[in-house]
Structure 1
Amino acid sequence: MTDVEYIAEVFAGDAVTTVYLGGSVAPSRRLSLRWLRGQALRFANALDPDPYTEWIPPQALQPVTHTERSAPAQLRFWTTDDEHQDHALHKLAVGIPYEFLVHDDACWYALTARPVLAPALAPFSGALARA
């Protein structure tokens, strides 16, 4: 007998390098997506912090020229978009891996989740413990 678990992972990179940023194993697809949403917000806030945050010294952040793509904006949008979340839940429910990829002028970021079969643990037996 087997159970399904969900592996959620995050990656980043550029044209040359891929970096593994972290992962999580969750007992349900909803929990794996919740973890991915938390990571997406963490990345977005690290890449594009609120300039009025207390821990940022005055004048530490400077505006950049407008780029066509904003990875932080795309990551924030993904976390709140019901259509994206429903699509991810559906794919995972039928056993298909899910990936959301964003990029800007310099880097890319990938949020991934996939179902894996995990062996079910046998029920604890006191007889085995005494043997």
Structure 2
Amino acid sequence: MKATLSAPGRVRVLDYVAAVTVKAGGRALPLGGVALPNRRLVLRWLRRQALRLADGHGRSPAPAAPWLGARDVRPVTFHGSDAPEALRAWAGDHGSQDHAMSALESGRPALLTVVDPFVGLRVTLGAWPVDLCGWVAVASANRPHPPRTEGG
């Protein structure tokens, strides 16, 4: 089952969903997400969000992306440099990107969680095929949440 999202005058097939969440003090909050037609665009969006979050450490976040009308996630204030460095490393590592692409291609979610050890803040970037959740398009496009994983 593929989800579709209607826009005035066109219909898109949305095969993948991506979301970024933050967990602190036992509460998980969504920072933002998108539904997109292919895994390359989903990973491109996740890499951009990883770099925006990392680069926002101590500075103002980068302006919103003009391509595809993508919605950028809300910024997070990190208290140390461990999490921002881990986000940058993941975004720039071709092996990590290939692994995420393979996971999505095989129908599994691609997840990355970084931790700010100073305050116990956990930021998770996730992408998964729409078929994994059996979602309808409106839920996918407006309120994406990563699938639950064991221990997570």
Same fold (TM over 0.5): yes
- In structure 2, the residue matched to 1:75 is 87
Give 4+ residue runs of structure 1 displaced > 3 Å after superposition. Answer: 1-4
Percent identity (aligned): 39
- In structure 1, the residue matched to 2:125 is 111
CA-to-partner distance for each residue in 1:20-54, whole Å, 9 max, x for gaps? 0000111110100000011111111122449xxxx
Q: CA RMSD in A?
A: 2.4
Q: Match for 1:16: what amino acid?
A: G
Consecutive unaligned residues in structure 1, runs of 5 or more: 51-63, 120-131
Asked if the contact 1:98/1:113 (under 8 Å) is kept, the reply is yes
How much has 1:16 moved relative to structure 2?
1.5
TM-score by length of structure 1 reads 0.70
CA-to-partner distance for each residue in 1:61-109, whole Å, 9 max, x for gaps? xxx8xx6x71000001110001110000000001001100000122111
| Number of residue pairs matched by the alignment | 103
- In structure 2, the residue matched to 1:88 is 100
Q: More relative contact order in 1 or in 2 (CA 8 Å, sep 6+)? A: 1
**For the pair shown, which has the larger CA radius of gyration, 1 or 2?**
1
Match of 1:47, SS state, is coil
How much has 1:15 moved relative to structure 2?
3.3
TM-score by length of structure 2 reads 0.61
The 5 Å alignment of 1:14-53 reads 14-49=24-59
